[in-house]
């Protein structure tokens, strides 16, 4: 199918983009690589009046080390993060996760900010940035605010972004040299969306013991139970308790799949 | 066309200026306006890889890249790879190894395969399969495609020694 007849603007300054996105007489949507929005437009699941292309705003395309964090502009592509030509404060976590997103042709255009804003529960950045304890810097006409990724993702395709706001930056805390990372996702075919994702970060120097169950048809579930991460408690009954109240909480197959994904991620950290 | 934008981009080395509707994706622009029909449209939702072309030298799905967003960029389709050394090797190898049957996926396969050869020169067959997993073929079962890329990688390695 073909997209509806939308208009298109490509401002070079953030303020101009925010001005356009704040309009309430039309439906305006920000777009970067269009690797999620593009299919939705073609399928007419999205029918905006105006697309505001934010990829020409220079500050949104930078990766820089800022104190004890890596600051990643919203429009930085997965391919850029995969290729690792920046001062990676995550000891290889970002390049490795980026390399597993969809396919290279998609990674060449798709962006980290777009992925977060789209908030598909199966997305790699949703799971990864939650486990890393990253923060999102959001800008609107009235200024900026910072939200933890864990609080930013509210549900399936649902975020804390308010009308007229966009993500400008993602801030990932630097990992210590003792940090260990585990990541496992179930895909029936390489590059497709995950059916169950487990992510684990153990960083003793910073006192971090955090696991995440993602792609579970809702917001990511944070697990800080040392018995699950360091003990032998990653079992279906424990994971079922964590998934209680979600649409898959009573589904034994789904619970088992998530248990195994998390267990395999944990094994990469503790094994 | 009521709502159009004027864009200027390079298509296979030629500068093109055209008025496009913002909703026109790059593949439709290339096929319908530039009459470059080697770029094939399968799914039109970024899944099948048939429409993969190069934008500024990097593989991109042309069905989910809008032409208007590629203003100022350099676009290369399979028609523009006639003289490209890697593409020449790949075309021969695809023919030798039966890397195609109906040919619908082949333009996208060649563009992605070229990327694998250049970006992953040390790829083993598992990595070739992983890197090519974004391009679907309904005829070959992929064995011929993997063998064709293998053949080019081996030939280039032998030539470099």
DSSP A48: -
The pLDDT, as a whole number, for residue B1 is 52
Predicted confidence at residue B126, as pLDDT, reads 98
Question: Is A34 inside any structural domain?
Answer: yes
Last residue within a domain, chosen from A173, A197, A229: A173
Of B23, B61, B71, the CB nearest to A3: B23
Number of domains composing chain A: 3
- What is the DSSP secondary structure assignment for residue B137, as one 8-state letter? -
A2 in reach of chain B (CB within 8 A)? yes
* CATH number of the domain where residue A116 is located: 3.30.465.10
Put simply, the answer to whether B60 touches A4 (Cβ < 8 Å) is no
Examine the domain organization and report whether A83 and A148 are in the same domain.
Answer: yes
Give per-residue pLDDT as tens, B123-132: 999 999 999 9
Which residues, including other chains, have CB under 8 Å from residue A4's CB and lie 6 or more apart?
A: A41, A44, A47, A48, B23
DSSP secondary structure code for residue B60 in this structure: E
Any domain includes A96: yes
CA A8/CA A181 separation, integer angstroms = 41
Same domain assignment for residues A126 and A201? no
Are residues A236 and A259 both part of a single domain? yes
Per-residue burial over B55-89, b if 16 or more Cβ lie within 10 Å, else e, is beebbbbbbbbbbbbbbebbbbbbbbbeebebbeb
How far separated are the first and last CA of chain A, in Å rounded? 48
- Give yes or no: residues A152 and A204 share one domain: no
Residues A116 and A46 both lie in one domain: no
pLDDT in tens, B95-119: 999 999 999 999 999 999 999 999 9
Helix (H) or strand (E) holding B59: strand B58-61
Note whether A113 and A60 are within 8 A (CB).
yes
Which burial class, exposed, middle or buried, applies to A44 when counting CB atoms under 10 A from its CB (0-12, 13-18, 19+)?
exposed
* Alpha carbon distance A29, A39 (integer Å): 14
Contacts of A6 in chain B (CB under 8 A): 22-23
- Answer yes or no: do A92 and A14 share one domain: no
Nearest to B112 among A38, A41, A105 (CB): A105
Same-domain pairing of A263 and A208: yes
- Is the Cβ of B134 closer than 8 Å to some Cβ of chain A? yes
Question: Residue A132: which H helix or E strand, with range?
Answer: helix A124-132
A119 and A135, same domain (yes or no):
yes
Q: Give the mean pLDDT of B46-66.
A: 98
- Domains defined for chain B, CATH in brackets: 5-80 (3.10.20.30), 83-160 (1.10.150.120)
Query: Do A97 and A141 share a domain, yes or no?
Result: yes
Residue B26, C-beta contacts closer than 8 angstroms, at least 6 positions apart? B53, B55, B60, B62, B63, B65, B66, B67, B70, B75
Distance in angstroms (rounded) separating the CA atoms of residues B65 and A238: 44
In a domain, A107, yes or no: yes
Average pLDDT of the residues of chain B: 97
Burial bucket for residue A263 (CB in 10 Å: 0-12, 13-18, 19+)? middle
Give A72-127 as a DSSP string: EETT-BHHHHHHT-S--TTTTHHHHHHHTSS-HHHHTT-BHHHHHHHT-TT-HHHH
CATH code at A241? 3.30.390.50
Is residue A1 assigned to a domain? Answer: no
Residue A139 lies in a domain: yes
Residues A102, A192: Cα–Cα separation, whole Å: 6
**Could you read off the pLDDT tens digit of each residue along chain A, which spans 271 residues?**
899 999 999 999 999 999 999 999 999 999 999 999 999 999 999 999 999 999 999 999 999 999 999 999 999 999 999 999 999 999 999 999 999 999 999 999 999 999 999 999 999 999 999 999 999 999 999 999 999 999 999 999 999 999 999 999 999 999 999 999 999 999 999 999 999 999 999 999 999 999 999 998 889 999 999 999 999 899 999 999 999 999 999 999 999 999 999 999 999 998 7
- A100 within domain boundaries: yes
User: Of A173, A201, A236, which one is at a domain's C-terminal end?
Assistant: A173
CA distances to A106, A141, A147, B143 from A50, in Å: 23, 18, 27, 44
Instruction: Assign A183 to helix, strand or coil.
Output: strand
User: What would the mean pLDDT of B29-48 be, rounded to a whole number?
Assistant: 97
Query: Are A118 and A153 contained in the same domain?
Result: yes
Last residue within a domain, chosen from A21, A38, A53? A53
CATH classification at residue A40: 3.30.43.10
The answer on A207 and A262 residing in a single domain is yes
Task: With CB atoms and an 8 Å threshold, state whether B133 touches A4.
Answer: no
Same domain, A152 and A212: no
Structural domain includes residue A2 = no
Domain coverage including residue A233: 180-270
Q: How far is A189 from chain B (nearest CA, A)?
A: 8
**Residue B32: CB partners within 8 Å, gap ≥ 6?**
none
Cβ-defined contact of A35 to B61 (cutoff 8 Å): yes
Please indicate if any CB of chain B lies within 8 Å of the CB of A102. yes
> Is B49's Cβ below 8 Å from some Cβ in A?
yes
Q: What pLDDT score was predicted for residue B146?
A: 98
For residue A38, tell me if it sits in a domain.
yes
């Amino acid at each position: 199918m073909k997209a509806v007849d939308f208009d298109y603007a490509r401002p070079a300054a953030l303020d101009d983009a925010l001005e356009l996105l704040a309009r309430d007489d039309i439906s305006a949507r920000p777009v970067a690589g269009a690797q999620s929005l593009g299919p939705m437009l073609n399928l007419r699941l999205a029918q905006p009046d105006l697309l505001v292309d934010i990829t020409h705003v220079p500050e949104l395309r930078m990766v820089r080390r800022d104190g004890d964090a890596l600051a990643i502009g919203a429009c930085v592509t997965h391919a850029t993060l995969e290729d690792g030509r920046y001062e990676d404060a995550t000891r290889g976590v970002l390049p490795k996760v980026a390399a597993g997103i969809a396919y290279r042709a998609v990674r060449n255009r798709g962006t980290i900010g777009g992925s977060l804003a789209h908030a598909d529960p199966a997305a790699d950045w949703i799971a990864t940035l939650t486990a890393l304890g990253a923060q999102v810097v959001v800008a609107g006409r009235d200024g900026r605010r910072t939200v933890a990724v864990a609080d930013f993702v509210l549900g399936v395709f649902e975020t804390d972004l308010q009308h007229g706001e966009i993500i400008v930056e993602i801030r990932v805390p630097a990992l210590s040299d003792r940090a260990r990372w585990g990541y496992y996702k179930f895909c029936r075919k390489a590059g497709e969306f995950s059916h169950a994702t487990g992510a684990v970060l153990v960083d003793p120097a910073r006192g971090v013991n955090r696991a995440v169950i993602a792609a579970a048809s809702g917001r990511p579930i944070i697990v800080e139970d040392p018995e699950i991460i360091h003990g032998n408690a990653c079992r279906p009954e424990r994971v079922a308790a964590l998934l209680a109240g979600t649409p898959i909480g009573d589904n034994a197959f789904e619970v088992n799949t998530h248990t195994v994904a998390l267990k395999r991620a944990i094994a990469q950290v503790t094994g | 066309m009521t709502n159009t934008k004027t864009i200027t981009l390079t298509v296979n080395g030629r500068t093109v200026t055209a008025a496009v509707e913002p909703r026109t994706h790059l593949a439709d622009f290339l096929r319908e306006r530039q009459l470059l029909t080697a770029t094939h449209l399968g799914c039109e939702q970024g899944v099948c890889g048939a429409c993969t072309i190069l934008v500024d030298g990097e593989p991109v799905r042309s069905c989910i890249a809008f032409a208007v967003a590629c203003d100022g960029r350099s676009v290369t389709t399979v028609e523009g790879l006639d003289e490209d050394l890697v593409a020449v090797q790949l075309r021969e190898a695809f023919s030798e190894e039966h890397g195609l049957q109906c040919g619908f996926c082949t333009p996208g396969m060649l563009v992605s395969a070229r990327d694998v050869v250049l970006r992953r020169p040390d790829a083993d067959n598992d990595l070739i399969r992983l890197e090519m997993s974004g391009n679907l073929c309904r005829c070959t079962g992929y064995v011929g495609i993997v063998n064709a890329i293998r053949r080019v990688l081996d030939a280039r390695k032998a030539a470099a020694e």
